[in-house]
Structure 1
């Protein structure tokens, strides 16, 4: 039987689930990387939910993955003002890993772009993660460069002083 996969907006009552997913992601990052997320502000996530920029992927009604979007990312993308959707903080529950949710997100973004002025789908990840670089390019993203984040930026703490790989899909 085929699984039902839906991408829907997160709701205020999803906040605990979202932070549980972040905790699961950090636990996984500790196993596979010297770098980990340093936590996120509940106010930030509540604002994303309010602005319909926090999403969940449901598989047969269960939350399988989460992600957030924004429409500009000037500190990472050097102020590019192209019409774009920037994908952030993709987290897949361990029970659902390996199900290619990045491709689900790309398909969602392509559909989303039909109703919004979006020319690019963009994302970033730590540059020292070769496995993610290969995975994102296999999903259709083009690796378009790197960005060194300066210390004391206003970005979350885990961005400070690191190099990021930048990816985009031209629509």
Structure 2
């Protein structure tokens, strides 16, 4: 297994993983992704912020990172942090603990880049997912309401998010 940067050649697979993730969210959560702008994904690839987990020759999981997230984290965004976004696992590889592998990778990456926190958010109301993130080492910090702003993907509009953090 390797965690390496995504490439432009991966875009089709990335979007198929997002589609599969959306289908799962529709089954188990109150909130689901509403699609992502291709330009956003291309920008993350160009900026080397989109990562893929490869097992053998197959992309089994993707995720993105950011170094700021002010619309979600508000005042806490001033802390030196990395933010993990859009974890999507291939349906045939769910249950293999990829979030724990991402956390392990993120601890090293964050420390090497002068960050003090690893953070993530998810739509509120999915207690099973919240418990899973806690089992991966995150501390649950509570719920925040998100403002309607064009800077956030559509699934944030008019909703709340559960916040998670690991202090390094």
TM-score by length of structure 2 reads 0.95
Structure 1 runs (4+) deviating above 6 angstroms are none
1:50-61 correspondence runs (5 A): 50-61=46-57
Trace 1:1-171 onto structure 2 (pairs within 5 A): 5-79=1-75, 80-152=77-149, 154-171=151-168
Contact 2:110/2:118 (<8 A) preserved: no
Deviation per CA, 1:100-158: give whole Å up to 9, x if none. 11110011111112321110000001110101110000111001121101234531111
1:65-124 deviation digits (Å, cap 9, x = unpaired): 000000000000004211111000000101100011111001111111232111000000
Between the aligned partners of 1:85 and 1:34, the Cα distance in structure 2 is 26
CA distance in 2, matches of 1:154, 1:10: 23
The answer as to whether partners of 1:153 and 1:160 remain within 8 angstroms in 2 is no
**Equivalent residue pairs, number:** 167
TM-score, normalising length: structure 1: 0.94
Q: Which has the higher helix share?
A: 2
- C-alpha displacement of 1:33: 2.4
Q: Aligned partners of 2:118 and 2:57: how far apart in 1?
A: 26
- Residues 125 and 99 from structure 1, CA distance in 2 versus in 1: closer, same or farther, beyond 3 angstroms? same
Q: Give the stretch that moved more between structures: 40-49 or 153-162.
A: 153-162
- Give the gaps of 5 or more residues in structure 2: none
**Helix, strand or coil at the partner of 2:125:** coil
